[in-house]
Amino acid sequence: MLTRITRVFFAVCCLTISALAQDQPVRIVVTVEGQKDATPPALTKDDVMVFVDNQRMRVIDWAPVQSDQIGLQLWILIDDGTDSSVGNQLEDLRKFVLEQPATTQVGVGYMRNGTVLALQQLTTDHAAAAKVIRLPISQPGASASPYLSLTDLVQRWPAGQQAREVVMISSGVDPDNGPGPSNPYLDRAILVAERAGVVVNAIYFGSAGHFGHSRWQINWGQNFLSQLTEETGGEFFWQGDFSPISIDSYLKELNQHFASLHVLTFQAQGKAGERRLKLKTEVPHVMLVGPSKVSVPGVK
């Protein structure tokens, strides 16, 4: 009997220990934002404060992404259900790809039927990536859920030392789930992206067909994209209920965003699992932007 109690006690202790972070290192991508149109000041790791569930964590490392040591992997995802008028934006999008630093790997894919059709895998040959950008097929509902497509891409994205970002061009409308405050595909995409350390940015562009002029669908599509980008630490660009006349200014802002990316590594303590994250700095006129949650590992 004593032996059985001892075994039970030992098992409970093991479960308790495995639920703790036990000072596990956590790595996230952070954007340093300064005043509008101004280059943000250079920060050191001593300028950065990290709080997980309001408990301060110790910063281990703070390194710029645009360097030979880290670098950026960037996927351009275009919704195949987007209205064909997006064709007026493709030249700016090609120019954006060509402007990326030599160390940045760029991939181009089209969201269709809940998956991503990759026309160009990640490459530093930016001319090759720019060349494959084409008009979407502009068939209403062709993309199915863009959030299923994003999840598909992230789950097939090999892990590495590079920072990882996505730029989605989509209406955010989800034909598979419909409008409304609850979307399990969106929730899943956010969770998968946060766990993989993928930052998602989005540019709103209207859908082909009925979804492109349904006020109800447009509203929820934009809400979904806003939530996705906010919770993963990215940026959302939109122009009211209408497709933008030009996305050039958005792309320029994204280039500024990429230039100020850093990889932050901190020592996590406390329980393992999905936990709330806050980033702070006392440097004036500077904001640190990162994911709203972080996945804290348990004991290995």
Pairing of strands 273-280, 49-52: antiparallel
Average pLDDT over residues 121-126: 98
Q: What percent of the chain has pLDDT over 70?
A: 88
Average pLDDT over residues 119-141: 93
Count of other CB atoms within 10 angstroms of residue 222? 19
Query: What pLDDT sits at residue 22?
Result: 60
Residue 70 has pLDDT above 80, yes or no: yes
CA atoms within 13 A on the CB side of 133: 24
Length of the chain: 300
Over 168-219, what HEC string results? EEECCCCCCCCCCCCCHHHHHHHHHHHHHCEEEEEEECCECHHHHCCHHHHH
Query: What pLDDT sits at residue 23?
Result: 74
Residue 15 has pLDDT above 70, yes or no: no
Query: What pLDDT sits at residue 219?
Result: 85
Higher local confidence (pLDDT), 181 or 179: 181
CATH entry 3.30.70 includes domain 24-66+260-296: no
Query: What pLDDT sits at residue 39?
Result: 83
Question: What φ, ψ does residue 46 adopt, rounded to 5°?
Answer: -75, -15
pLDDT of 16-42, one tens digit each?
Answer: 334 455 678 999 999 999 887 778 889
Please report which residue ranges of the chain form alpha helices under DSSP H. 2-18, 90-98, 126-131, 146-155, 184-196, 215-232, 248-259
Residue 250 in contact with residue 47, Cβ under 8 Å?
no
Sheet holding 293-296, edge to edge: 287-289, 24-33, 261-268, 55-64, 49-52, 273-280, 293-296
| Mean pLDDT score across all residues of the chain | 88
Choose among 78, 75, 82: nearest CA to 243. 82
Residue 214 has pLDDT above 90, yes or no: no
Average pLDDT over residues 235-257: 94
Q: What is the pTM of this model?
A: 0.89
Query: What pLDDT sits at residue 14?
Result: 39
Query: What pLDDT sits at residue 216?
Result: 57
For residue 18, give both structure tokens. Answer: 């495995």
Cα–chain center distance at 13: 37
What is the rounded CA–CA span in Å between residue 39 and residue 82? 34
Same fold, 24-66+260-296 and 72-258: no
Q: By mean pLDDT, which of 153-162, 213-222, 249-258 is the weakest?
A: 213-222
Q: By mean pLDDT, which of 10-14, 97-101, 103-107, 139-143 is the weakest?
A: 10-14
What is the rounded CA–CA span in Å between residue 86 and residue 93? 10
Going from N- to C-terminal start, the domains of the chain cover 24-66+260-296, 72-258
Residue 197 in contact with residue 28, Cβ under 8 Å?
yes
pLDDT of 262-300, one tens digit each?
Answer: 999 999 988 889 999 999 999 999 999 999 999 888 754
pLDDT confidence of 64, banded at 50, 70, 90? very high
Higher local confidence (pLDDT), 177 or 201: 201
CATH number assigned to the domain covering 72-258: 3.40.50.410
